[in-house]
Structure 1
């Protein structure tokens, strides 16, 4: 019997915990502040940012959004980030990706101070993750770990396979699993015989951006499968995994929607509170 992993419920519990921390540890004047930076008006990005901002306000944090025109230069955007970095009211900075063509996203992200890097994407944050040291972790992989823990999935000693090697999900996901003592393989578009690799996984995390890539031929019976992909189709949202074909085959499975998706924003809120606490502790 396949068990569906409830990301919606897990995300709600994290938001409730965050709201309680804000109520008990901060006043309205000192509440954590999240600065989302949206360059241009990409429709999907605008929707994502609006959702993050609604959650910020609902939880009692300060919404410090910055809208930057698509015509802004690299230096103009850098100046916005630098000002937010210096602003004590700003606990966390999130530069919404993707950026308009012609901009160097990596250079702009690296202007965010590590202690305000609530997306966990700067080079310094990546290095701290690689060494399993103090720092903020990328939200989606951190959400996956939370889901696995909520299901009491054993990671120490498990064979874990991550399909995808993006800086946003795949690479940090592999590192987080390794830091939990899993034996980790990261597969990607250059992997020969993908199914042979993924069938060895006790825990399979799929983050490729390729709709329906993974089916039962890729999955060991009884494995836990986490689908990070999300695709809009005429029939609704779909993932990188053909989930309906894995019912009765996988032991645990995340749905799309309602699996990993809600966890990303929840972990962003948790990171913002952590950042605010560190700022207060180190000030």
Structure 2
């Protein structure tokens, strides 16, 4: 009888955090506290929730969380000045600019102001390039989470056909490069892709990162495919029709408790890595 494996992101997240504890204690013995600075522009409720979750996760592990709230009317120039001051602060190891920012701000310019040594979410052009060339220290956290889950459950990537639905610069594009670096054959699909369902039916691994609830249908899925749902839509709904896809898949991430918790764990890991790197440890 067909049995689908539910990929438990909470469990993977706990494993990653457990591995971080000893490293954080090692830094503490040297009077170093890994610090993540999170910048929130405006008062988007979902962004406020994410910032709070990240701050709480830091606190539970004995890390420092610096939350910087900026008025919605701030200029791009002022935002960049804030980022540069954090770049120059030796006590800050990671900088996260919470997406999205208000429309009048040049988000790309703000991202590019983040020092590569503190770009713990892989948002800079240099960070993306390093990830593509397979030597980036801090790949984007959601793509890193997807690979961490595949690895934790010992699901092979090499030689598999991965279909990525979505091409955002911090999810679809970097996860495609990371899968390619692990010897998958990768097809990237997007809003202009023709015959999308037929392409998805060829996939051994489906990465759904399109931002549309229940977009991926059950009859798109090849029997036995692995489904990584990186979507998070209102009502705790992912980008795949979970119930229908569950019947076809060999393994699937739920929403919530799938990719999301591991994304936060990878952010913490990258911040700890950055603390080690900046102190030449």
What's the TM-score, normalizing by structure 1? 0.96
RMSD, matched Cα: 1.2
| Equivalent residue in structure 2 for 1:203, among 175, 181, 205 | 205
1:228 aligns to what?
230
Structure 1 unaligned residues grouped into runs of 5+: none
Measured in 2, the distance between the counterparts of 1:247 and 1:100 equals 37
Q: Is the 8 A contact 1:114 1:135 kept in 2?
A: no
Cα deviation per residue 1:167-207 (whole Å; 9 max; x = unaligned)?
12100010000010000000111111111111111111100
Match of 1:67 among 61, 66, 69: 69
Which whole-Å deviations, capped at 9, do the CAs of 1:250-283 have from their partners, x for residues lacking one? Answer: 100111111111111100000000111110118x
Alignment of structure 1 residues 48-59 onto 2, 5 Å: 48-59=50-61
Quick check: 1:17 aligned with 2:16?
no
- Tell me what 2:268 maps to: 269
Number of residue-to-residue matches in the alignment: 279
Residue pair 2:131, 2:139 contacting (<8 A) in 1 also = yes
Deviations 1:42-85 (A, max 9, x none): 11111100110111111111122211111211111111100000
Cα deviation code 1:80-133 (max 9, x no counterpart): 100000000000000111001200011001111111001111010011111112
Question: How many Å separate the matches in 2 of 1:22 and 1:93?
Answer: 18
Offset at 1:238?
1.0
Say whether the 8 Å CA contact 1:155–1:182 is kept in structure 2: yes
Match of 2:80, SS state, is helix
Name 2:170's counterpart in structure 1.
168
Unaligned runs of 5+ in 2: none
Aligned equivalents of 2:185 and 2:249: distance in 1?
A: 20
> What SS does structure 1 have at the residue aligned with 2:158?
coil
Deviates more, 1:246-255 or 1:79-88: 246-255
Match of 1:253 in 2: 252
Q: Match of 1:102? A: 104
Query: What SS class does the counterpart of residue 247 from structure 1 fall into?
Result: helix
SS of residue paired to 1:248? helix
Show CA shifts across 1:218-238 (max 9, x none): 1100000011111123xxx11
